[in-house]
Structure 1
Amino acid sequence: MSTIRQLTAADLPALLRTQAACYGAGFNEPEAVFAQRLQQSPQSAWCVDDAARPGELAAYLLGYPSRIGQITALHGSFEPVAQPDCLYLHDLAVSPTCQGQALGLRLVQHAWGQATQLWGLRRSALVAVQGSLPFWQRLGYEVLELREPEHLSLLAAYGAEARYCVRQPA
């Protein structure tokens, strides 16, 4: 079974290749954005190496401690908050060649455990995109309707089907 490990700056070229294989062009974020995110919250970025393709990532997940209702702008920086109340999961990608191995589930479960251990956070939030809402709902996330114009504008940048979701502690 593949091991989950911390994502590092050395992984960024492989991360960008995985991202390109998983997302449409409008969702591909540049290397500089990922580098900045790793600097802002290095302890909340994880990956799994692709055992069949050395130097490639099977999957990755980036997040950061945040507050319910706060959305990271597409292509934007992670915004640190003084008193986080959740782990915001910004980007989960599983290489098309590695799907069906439950890597996404494993990364998310790992993130939940780390959030509790490192920051005492038991809630999680995210923006579901590109038809991923059923996956997140199976993991216990529920759509939270946002009302603030700023939040709605940020959400709209992710596309018409994007939904802000929250998972409460079990």
Structure 2
Amino acid sequence: MDASAALLVRAMRADDLDAVLAVQLACYGAGFVESGELIARRLAAAPHTGWVAEHMGHVRAYLAGYPSVMGKLTPLHGEFEVAAAADALYLHDLAVHPDASGLGLGPRLVRHAWAHAAQAGWRHSTLVSVQSSVGFWERQGYAATQPAGPGQLARLATYPGDSVFMMRRLD
């Protein structure tokens, strides 16, 4: 079977939660692991901006985001604050199981998210880069930027290590 034929990107569902948690646990250090209850609430708050990538019928990667406004970010372990008048797609969490490394699942999920954002008319995508992922995000066209004001800087400080707020224009 052609490897690309075995790949599927689709909307995240509540019944994906166990698989999403398994991917998260395989990817993140203890300070970054978020509870299943929090992920379920986020999915309920923003059901159209969460996706999984399946390889050979198994969830191997996921991307969770939500409609936001430029310059605003979610603190680590915080609830999604879905913006009614969104102008940006905030990507909170992208994780690819190490066993699926090299399949291109991360970039594929990101491109899928951009297509959704473009259909919604959002002009930007923002995120917080963690765990030395800045290079990956730069290859996707993101650049470091400053959050909107001291309150958002305080939210950025909730992420351990060298965390960087990043933005990409979508149009």
In the alignment, which of 71, 83, 86 is matched to residue 81 of structure 1?
83
In the alignment, which of 45, 50, 54 is matched to residue 50 of structure 2?
45
The worse-fitting range, judged by mean Cα deviation, of 140-149 and 23-32 is 140-149
1:35 aligns with 2:40: yes
Distance 1:113 1:169 in 2: 9
Contact 1:90 1:127 in 2 (8 A): yes
In the alignment, which of 19, 22, 29 is matched to residue 24 of structure 2?
19
SS of 1:3's equivalent?
strand
Residue number in structure 2 paired with 1:103: 105
Report the alpha carbon displacement of residue 49 of structure 1 after superposing the two structures with TM: 1.9
TM, length-normalised to structure 1 = 0.93
Report the residue type matching 2:98 in the other structure.
P
Report the alpha carbon displacement of residue 123 of structure 1 after superposing the two structures with TM: 1.1
Residue number in structure 2 paired with 1:144: 145
Residue number in structure 2 paired with 1:156: 157
Q: Taking every aligned residue pair, what percent have the same amino acid on both sides?
A: 45
TM, length-normalised to structure 2 = 0.93
- Number of residue pairs matched by the alignment: 166
Query: Deviations along 1:9-49, whole A, 9 cap, x unmatched?
Result: 10001110100000001100001111101111111010012
Q: What pairs up with 1:49-128 in 2 under 5 angstroms?
A: 49-51=54-56, 56-117=58-119, 119-128=120-129
Distance 2:25 2:161 in 1: 21
1:131 aligns with 2:132: yes
Report the alpha carbon displacement of residue 146 of structure 1 after superposing the two structures with TM: 3.3
Distance 2:66 2:153 in 1: 20
Contact 2:72 2:148 in 1 (8 A): no
Contact 1:90 1:126 in 2 (8 A): yes
SS of 2:78's equivalent?
coil
RMSD over equivalenced CA pairs, Å:
1.3
Contact 1:112 1:122 in 2 (8 A): no
Distance 1:147 1:109, change over 3 A: closer
Contact 2:38 2:77 in 1 (8 A): yes
Distance 1:102 1:50 in 2: 11
Distance 1:47 1:5 in 2: 6
Distance 1:69 1:81 in 2: 12
Distance 1:134 1:40 in 2: 30
